[in-house]
Chain A
Amino acid sequence: MRLDLTILIPHLGFLAEGALLTLEACALALIGSVILGMLVAIARTSSSKWISRLAFLYVDLFRNIPFIVQLFFFYYGLPEIGIYIDAFTTGVVALSIAGGAYASDAIRAGILAIDNGILEAAEVSGLSKRVTFTRIVLPIALRTSVRPLGSVLINMILTSSILSTITLNELTGQAKIVASDTFRPFEVYVVLLVVYAALTYLVSLGITLLHRRLNRDLQEQVS
């Protein structure tokens, strides 16, 4: 019953490979979910009733069904309809779709928080609806929703551990292999807990800095 962490030293490179894969998957899924979230946020703030209802249905479904069920749905379901993609792609797609539901909420809040005066000013200046949206509404909304999007990313890093159940050897998957190689599961998983906590802490620090940098002109309102 001695906590001996030195047994992990030979396996550090192996674990780092997994961490890299985790970060890769999360980075790709973040891009995917922000794009998806943007589209869904536009749909949800649309004046057409059916489009906004459909978007709400998507958000509601993917937020209320466990990620592992969604993941298995895609992983076992897609080959059934003739789409053969590897575990990594499936994982990134599933993470993007699940993350998109959360991201859309963050971006939607950013859109709804925009001052009406800004929209009126754009209208008076003669900008078309599309230009107003892409050049004025979206940049402001994305900028103010950096922090909530950051918590979506942090959640995504934690959720990505579930990808180990579809044979994708990211950080948790690699740790599982190390644990069965060394017969020291306790040490391995304790270290893993701390690594994940440190990783998410660093990410949240970075997000705070980015948020401050992007919103430096409205410091007193946002901070």
Chain B
Amino acid sequence: MRFAEFTPYDIVLLLQGLGVTVGLFLITSLIGLLVGVLWGVVRFYRIPVLMQLVTFVSEILKNSPVLVQLFLVFFGFPAFFHVNVTPVQAAIVTLSANTAAFVYVIAVSSIESIGRDQVEAARVFGLSRWQVLRHVIAPQAAAFSIGPLTALLVNQLQVTSLISVIGVLDLAKIGATLNLRTLKPFIVWTAVGILYYLAAKAVASLGAWAEKRLRAHSAFRGL
């Protein structure tokens, strides 16, 4: 074996992989959040056919393995729709849709967490449905949903590791490459695991910070 030893460059490789993982995680979370909230709004307005469609799609996405969804987009779409799909595109589409499905559930439950009497009072004051959503429901729903959202995002960060299977050079793929070259699985996968762990902890503490900020207005200030 010529290249069987670790080199200092491996650290750069690992950090590069971490960068790809975190970057894709941020992009897909953002898209997923937007799409999921949009689906929630569709349900809030009770748009007929669209509402059932959204519920169905989110059920399918929630109840099937992300790996199969990835394969469907990466191998299935090019064969069926005759389009070119790069691994990164497939990863972005799949992870965004998957995040959206879970965000949709959180959005629906946090909209429903707000008492009907508040909505009715706002309507009596002459606010439109949009104004009710924007000024009455959204601020409270955001504070309510931040806890479950943090848990979801920590989970989605780990789900990003699956994109290594279709060839995206993320942290898990770098780990596999280093493992093949050095044949030292314990060191390589421990290092990769620690990096994922630290990233998950960072997301969790950011979520806790955001929750504290959003709940500040309703927190007990003392007498």
| A69 interfacial by beta-carbon distance below 8 Å | yes
Which residues of the other chain, A, contact B67 by a CB distance below 8 angstroms?
161-162, 164, 172
Write the nearest CB–CB distance from A181 to chain B, whole angstroms. 13
Q: Please name the residue on chain A nearest to B157 by beta carbon.
A: A66
B192–A69 contact, CB under 8 A?
yes
B63–A69 contact, CB under 8 A?
no
| A68 interfacial by beta-carbon distance below 8 Å | yes
A80–B186 contact, CB under 8 A?
yes
Q: Roughly how many angstroms separate A192 CA and B60 CA in the complex, as a whole number? A: 11
Q: Roughly how many angstroms separate A201 CA and B193 CA in the complex, as a whole number? A: 32
B193–A70 contact, CB under 8 A?
yes
Among the 9-residue stretches A31-39, A107-115, A183-191, the one with 4 or more Cβ atoms under 8 Å from chain B is A183-191
Write the nearest CB–CB distance from A126 to chain B, whole angstroms. 43
Q: Please name the residue on chain B nearest to A198 by beta carbon.
A: B63
Which residues of the other chain, A, contact B193 by a CB distance below 8 angstroms?
61, 65, 69-70, 73
Write the nearest CB–CB distance from A172 to chain B, whole angstroms. 6
| A197 interfacial by beta-carbon distance below 8 Å | yes
Which residues of the other chain, B, contact A165 by a CB distance below 8 angstroms?
165
Q: Roughly how many angstroms separate A162 CA and B59 CA in the complex, as a whole number? A: 20
B80–A186 contact, CB under 8 A?
yes
B79–A183 contact, CB under 8 A?
yes
* Residue in B59, B72, B80, B161 whose beta carbon sits within 8 Å of that of A68 in the complex: B161
A69-B175, A70-B193 known; A76 vs B68 contact (CB < 8 Å)? no
Q: Roughly how many angstroms separate A189 CA and B67 CA in the complex, as a whole number? A: 10
Write the nearest CB–CB distance from A13 to chain B, whole angstroms. 20
Write the nearest CB–CB distance from B22 to chain A, whole angstroms. 13
Which residues of the other chain, B, contact A189 by a CB distance below 8 angstroms?
68, 71-72, 75-76
Q: Chain A contact residues (Cβ within 8 angstroms of B): what range?
A: 35 or more
* Residue in A69, A162, A188 whose beta carbon sits within 8 Å of that of B189 in the complex: A69
A72-B176, A193-B69 known; A185 vs B60 contact (CB < 8 Å)? no
Mostly, the B contact residues are helix
A197–B189 contact, CB under 8 A?
no
A185–B76 contact, CB under 8 A?
yes
A64–B200 contact, CB under 8 A?
yes
B63–A159 contact, CB under 8 A?
no
A189-B68, A193-B64, A197-B63 known; A73 vs B186 contact (CB < 8 Å)? yes
Q: Please name the residue on chain B nearest to A61 by beta carbon.
A: B197
Write the nearest CB–CB distance from B114 to chain A, whole angstroms. 25
| A124 interfacial by beta-carbon distance below 8 Å | no
Which residues of the other chain, B, contact A158 by a CB distance below 8 angstroms?
63-66
A1–B63 contact, CB under 8 A?
no
| B81 interfacial by beta-carbon distance below 8 Å | yes
| B201 interfacial by beta-carbon distance below 8 Å | yes
Q: Roughly how many angstroms separate A118 CA and B156 CA in the complex, as a whole number? A: 40
Within 8 A of B (CB), among A161-209: 161-162, 164-165, 172, 175-176, 179, 183-190, 192-194, 196-197, 200-201
| B113 interfacial by beta-carbon distance below 8 Å | no
A68–B75 contact, CB under 8 A?
no
| B54 interfacial by beta-carbon distance below 8 Å | no
Which residues of the other chain, A, contact B150 by a CB distance below 8 angstroms?
none
Interface centre among A69, A190, A192 (most CB of B within 10 A): A69
B65–A72 contact, CB under 8 A?
no
Which residues of the other chain, B, contact A154 by a CB distance below 8 angstroms?
63
6 nearest CB pairs, A to B: A76-B185, A186-B76, A66-B161, A186-B80, A161-B65, A189-B72
22 contacts between A and B (CB under 8 A): A1-B82, A3-B80, A64-B201, A65-B200, A66-B161, A66-B172, A68-B161, A68-B165, A68-B172, A73-B190, A73-B193, A80-B186, A161-B65, A161-B67, A172-B71, A179-B71, A185-B80, A187-B80, A189-B68, A192-B68, A197-B59, A200-B63
